[in-house]
Amino acid sequence: MMGACISSEEYDQQQSSEDSDTSDEIQASSTKDSLEIQKSSTKDSLEIQEYSTEDSFEILSTQNVSNVKDLRRNPGYTKLDSFTYDEMRMATRFFRKSELLGEGGFGPVYKGLIDDTIRSGYPTTEVAVKVLNHEGFQGDTEWLTEVNYLGHLQHPNLVKLVGYCCEDDQRLLVYEFMAGGSLENHIFTKEDAPNMLTWSRRLKIAINAAKGLAFLHNAKRPVIFRDFKTSNVLLDANFKAKLSDFGLAKDGPLGDLTHVTTLVKGTPGYAAPEYMMTGHLTPMCDIYAFGVVLLELLFGEPAVDKRRPSGETYLVDRAIPLLIKNKSALTREIDPRMKGQYTSKAVLKVAELAYSCIKEHPRKRPSMTDVVEILETIQKHELLEVKGNKVKGGVEVKGNKVKGGGKNKASK
């Protein structure tokens, strides 16, 4: 086994030294679409600690890798494959443009196929290959964080890391291919495009994503995802959702600690206000971000819309007045592409849940376990309503035909 393992005392020392690190002078720098407040000095090593198998769906390894040298010496992750750069080049047909799936802060992502011709005996596997862009703002730290978390944790609602490539200064991540792409790719498509995201699919996606977060939060050593947003929710061909991108993930507080203090990293529009102000990170920050994604699912609007006048840029700011007291205005704002697919009762319940998730006071937010339970109850009732062809809350469901519910927005 590799990667020096440290005791919990050592870990606490490390954690508190990071706490004090953040009191150093910080400088704000806004990068592309992501907000980052960075210290002038950066750490290049990751925290190391043990994971307990308790409460976890599957733990693949018990130790983290502290740096790239260690990883090369002894990867320790039995379920992760180590690929060569040449293998990845062949799998992606020389990183062909036509295979490009998208590009984020880490670098471009290509579709790839690994099979017997790439590596003898390898089962045919469709993959997504993420390649570190050396000119970007991410590097070994984010790459290793991803390998460490996804090398340890496996759950039906976390995207599977198939392996990685760490050759010279190349850093690649090889994931299971998610045929549906990201939730972001679907949710903001133009109105004339066929609407793949029906109400029942949105509910299912919300439940899947909530289960992924609940799994992380309920691990013995809780994990805070820190970058929950529609582009990090990937969909398979059946609209099953999985969380991707652990580059910013962080171990949650243990024992009497209420939070971990970190550099503020994340995405504007999703980052919890208390985290932005103090750098105090708790699982409640993920719950806030989940509330924002619920609003995006309900309204079909992005968390941040820079085309809108200031004061209306953030979806949360536009949604709160509706969530507080204006039920009829709220139902009128529901994404018109879902017209006739929902009962008002269900959307109002989801809106209520979203509102509780984005409460300013973190302690007033529900836990992810509560969120899963509430969403599953809403889903169950919604199915019963539709099956029973009942008329509820202004939405009439007759056989397959539905009247009412939602207005048709002329333009988006």
Ligand X SMILES: Nc1ncnc2c1ncn2[C@@H]1O[C@H](COP(=O)(O)OP(=O)(O)OP(=O)(O)O)[C@@H](O)[C@H]1O
- The contact set with Mg ion (CB under 5 A) reads 104, 231-232, 245
**Residue 253 near residue 84, CB atoms below 8 Å:** no
11 or 239: whose CB is closer to ligand X? 239
| 366, two tokens | 């529900």
User: Minimal CA–CA distance to 394: which of 335, 332, 349?
Assistant: 332
* Among Mg ion, ligand X, none, residue 316 binds (CB under 5-8 Å by kind): none
Dihedral over Cα of 143, 146, 148, 151: its sign: negative
CA end-to-end span of the chain: 54
* Among Mg ion, ligand X, none, residue 34 binds (CB under 5-8 Å by kind): ligand X
104 or 212: whose CB is closer to Mg ion? 104
The correct pick among 87, 142, 245, 301 for binding ligand X (CB under 6 A) is: 245
Q: Which residue type occupies 170?
A: Q
- Helix (H, G, I), strand (E, B), or coil: what is residue 330? helix
Segment contacting ligand X (CB under 6 A): 3-11, 63-71, 226-234, 316-324?
A: 226-234
The correct pick among 147, 207, 213, 234 for binding ligand X (CB under 6 A) is: 234
The correct pick among 101, 254, 257, 304 for binding ligand X (CB under 6 A) is: 101
270 or 355: whose CB is closer to Mg ion? 270
Query: Angle at which helices 315-325 and 344-357 pack, to 10 degrees?
Result: 120
Is 227 catalytic? The answer is yes
**Residue 151 near residue 161, CB atoms below 8 Å:** yes
The correct pick among 49, 66, 182, 282 for binding ligand X (CB under 6 A) is: 182
Least spacing, CB of residue 244 vs ligand X, in Å? 5
- Window 184-213: residues binding ligand X (CB under 6 A): 185
C-alpha 127/C-alpha 123 separation (Å) is 12
159 or 323: whose CB is closer to ligand X? 159
Least spacing, CB of residue 22 vs ligand X, in Å? 22
- Window 261-290: residues binding ligand X (CB under 6 A): none
When asked if residue 177 is in the footprint of ligand X (CB under 6 A), the reply is yes
Q: In what order do the strands lie in the sheet with 181-182?
A: 181-182, 233-235, 241-243
* Among Mg ion, ligand X, none, residue 290 binds (CB under 5-8 Å by kind): none
* Among Mg ion, ligand X, none, residue 314 binds (CB under 5-8 Å by kind): none
Q: What is the bridge-based pairing of β-strands 181-182 and 108-114?
A: unpaired
User: Minimal CA–CA distance to 3: which of 79, 64, 51, 62?
Assistant: 64
Least spacing, CB of residue 197 vs ligand X, in Å? 15
The correct pick among 46, 118, 132, 159 for binding ligand X (CB under 6 A) is: 159
C-alpha 359/C-alpha 284 separation (Å) is 10
181 or 273: whose CB is closer to Mg ion? 181
Q: Give whole-number Cα distances, 124 to 118, 121, 127, 155, in Å.
A: 10, 9, 10, 22
For every residue of 17-59, DSSP letters joined together read HHHHHTTS-EEEEEETTEEEEEESS---S--------TT-SEE
* Among ligand X, Mg ion, none, residue 109 binds (CB under 5-8 Å by kind): ligand X
The correct pick among 11, 83, 175, 228 for binding ligand X (CB under 6 A) is: 175
What is the set of active-site residues? 227
Residues that bind ligand X (CB under 6 A): 34, 101-106, 109, 128, 130, 159, 175, 177-178, 181-182, 185, 231-232, 234, 244-245
